[in-house]
Amino acid sequence: MTTLDQMIDDFGFLEDWEDRMRYVIELGKALPDLDDAEKTSENKVQGCASQVWLSVSAGEGPDPVMTFAGDSDAFIVRGLVAIVLQAYSGRKASEVVAFDALDLFRQLGLLEHLTAQRANGLRSMIQRIREEAARRMA
């Protein structure tokens, strides 16, 4: 799986919107499949036009390290999931709560080109992840 820093560098070389979308799709193809047992109604992200599932696990303590896994039934959305997972997974809960991945998507030049439905779904994914982290800190 490509690291977040590598993704940022790669997007920096892609000037054309179509090239960026192809790269998003490639990232989605490289995303490990979520086990079917994890594709539950509890893990389904509400607010996404496509089906999106997020699985969450956390370490111990008042500020646990969060690990996220996810999947989607749509190629582009699956790539967006891959970026979101790289942005948040492996961080402490306090870092997850503080980090706004929408800024990352602006930096990558993706946010302004997403359809309204995809942008809403992206916001739903990010909100869900940040809420899960906040809940684990309580």
CA separation for the pair 36, 58 (Å, rounded): 20
pLDDT score recorded for residue 15: 85
Residue 107 belongs to a domain with what CATH number? 3.90.1010.10
pLDDT per residue as tens digits for the range 57-69:
999 999 999 999 9
Query: Which of the following is catalytic: 48, 84, 108, 129?
Result: 48
Q: Is 66 helix (H, G, I), strand (E, B) or coil?
A: strand
Low-confidence stretches of the chain (pLDDT beneath 50): none
Give the rounded distance of the alpha carbon of 131 from its chain centre.
14
In terms of residue numbers, what domain contains 20?
4-137
Q: Is-catalytic flag, 48?
A: yes
State residue 42's pLDDT score: 94
CA torsion sign for 84, 87, 88, 94 is negative
Q: Which residues pair with 54 in a beta bridge?
A: 70
* In contact, 41 and 119? CB cutoff 8 Å: no
The total number of structural domains that make up the chain? 1
pLDDT for the residue 112: 87
pLDDT tens-digit profile of 119-134?
999 999 999 999 999 9
What is the per-residue pLDDT for 1? 60
